[in-house]
Structure 1
């Protein structure tokens, strides 16, 4: 299998993100993750088109509170190798995260998911290796069955991606926050994607969301939803006030109804879809306090 590997020098001088990467081999690829802190393991899964850099502010709150934070870069993102476009499937992405848990022998995990990390992580946490995951935090994400109508902003994003092979990654992240990002932060999101060949994952993931009940991934999504509805593990749901990609009054409230929560959805005010950028410190404290309780 031919893969693209972003040169290490592309990741020099990342603002607020000095953690050294760890690597593992899987299916002919070198996959990256960061692993910082001691204590209870917290696995943080990013989505489209971000990477583990997204979690830096959250990690800076969780680690001092006594948690070990593991944030992988999914295949095709961050420091992980980037296969060609036709590699990407829902099954492959799920299998890559299962491998992370197995190679690191992670147990009693708090799983935190965002964006595409949700469909991947929630499947891992229910129908794949539920016994390794004890608590779940969901942020601006969902599980897709081919029956949910996607909003106008998402449809426009999908059309833009389909028409733009050389995606402007930093521009896409900037468009999904409530407050403007510093230039060096935008550059950090662009760093992994040093060529058109590096952008296969970012190009492909939007098209993996099933649009009909018989599309690939829809049946697996229905199985995840059925498992979540009967789940008894502690769960926390956070949602951004100004998310236009997955709006609060729509996907946010649907997730609130689906998950067996013991407390209502926690609104993150003043935040857009990439709420970790707008309010990462606050999110880290909310999760740390929830774990402590």
Structure 2
């Protein structure tokens, strides 16, 4: 396997990202690949497992991490293979739904995470929402933002199809430019931080691949698994849930999120963030504060 590793100097002095890196290169089935994750807070504290999507990485959670840690939680925020500080196989066919999902399962098991709040958005949800049913006894709460389940039996929306077309036309996607267009008030330095993991197009195989992995038919990889997860969230989930919606998201915005709320058993009324778009985490501590208040009954 041809594997790329982003030079570490590209991650120096990133705005609001002073966090120490942690590495794992012993995940069963992924020998020879190094996964990066953040790990902050007391090791015996309840865990916030923060999962990013495409084309982002754990930098996306920089505004939420201090709020979680300040509230006494441990934060674990991995970079999926192909993203962030994690290794990046150069061959696009390596990246599959199962490749990414199993890596997350192996990381949770390796770190023996328990009393977990799943925090997810975009592909962090497409993958993450399929995890709790197969990791029994580990997940207690859910914070879900602008995502969906890829069940393959629901038509993909026009917004997603337009995004997939754009991505497929952009093999060397301008990630910094995309993030500046998508997030009001994002500085040039922050936009460049999002692009830091990708020195050139060779490093973007995972970025290119993700839109084409969203299950778009019942027999697509991940579709049956996601339908099973849909049934699980409807009928077996007994934990606490909180939903935040970036209302300006043209891809996974209010209609998609309201449909998802109908699937998650006991999910209360969502927090609607009027000015937020797809990258909901940029709204920062307010999501953490409101979620924790909800979980405490406040």
State the TM-score, normalized to the length of structure 2.
0.93
Q: Is the CA contact 2:261–2:267 (under 8 Å) kept in the aligned structure 1?
A: no
Q: Which residue matches 1:107?
A: 114
Q: Is the CA contact 2:240–2:295 (under 8 Å) kept in the aligned structure 1?
A: no
State the TM-score, normalized to the length of structure 1.
0.95
Q: Is the CA contact 1:62–1:288 (under 8 Å) kept in the aligned structure 2?
A: no
Tell me the distance in 2 between the aligned counterparts of 1:145 and 1:190: 30
Q: Is the CA contact 1:61–1:288 (under 8 Å) kept in the aligned structure 2?
A: no
Q: Which residue matches 1:282?
A: 286
Residues 88-134 of structure 1 deviation map (CA, whole Å, 9 limit, x = unaligned): 111111111111111111111111111000121111112x2132111
Tell me the distance in 2 between the aligned counterparts of 1:206 and 1:46: 14
Q: Which residue matches 2:64?
A: 58
Q: Secondary structure at the match of 2:16?
A: coil
Q: 1:163 aligns with which of 152, 159, 169?
A: 169
Residues 205-253 of structure 1 deviation map (CA, whole Å, 9 limit, x = unaligned): 00001111222221111111011111211111111121111120x2011
Q: Are 2:258 and 1:237 aligned?
A: no
Q: What pairs up with 1:1-293 in 2 under 5 angstroms?
A: 1-25=1-25, 26=27, 27=30, 28-38=32-42, 39-83=45-89, 84-126=91-133, 128-177=134-183, 179-230=184-235, 231-248=237-254, 250-277=255-282, 279-293=283-297
Q: Is the CA contact 1:49–1:173 (under 8 Å) kept in the aligned structure 2?
A: no
Q: Tell me by how many angstroms 1:148 deviates.
A: 2.4
Q: Is the CA contact 2:118–2:143 (under 8 Å) kept in the aligned structure 1?
A: yes
Q: Is the CA contact 2:38–2:78 (under 8 Å) kept in the aligned structure 1?
A: yes
Which blocks of at least 5 consecutive residues in structure 2 are unaligned? none
Tell me the distance in 1 between the aligned counterparts of 2:149 and 2:182: 20
Which blocks of at least 5 consecutive residues in structure 1 are unaligned? none
Q: How many pairs does the alignment contain?
A: 289
Residues 169-204 of structure 1 deviation map (CA, whole Å, 9 limit, x = unaligned): 122223333x13100010000000112111011100
Q: Is the CA contact 1:60–1:284 (under 8 Å) kept in the aligned structure 2?
A: no
Tell me the distance in 1 between the aligned counterparts of 2:205 and 2:267: 39
Structure that is richer in helix per residue: 1
Tell me the distance in 2 between the aligned counterparts of 1:198 and 1:134: 35
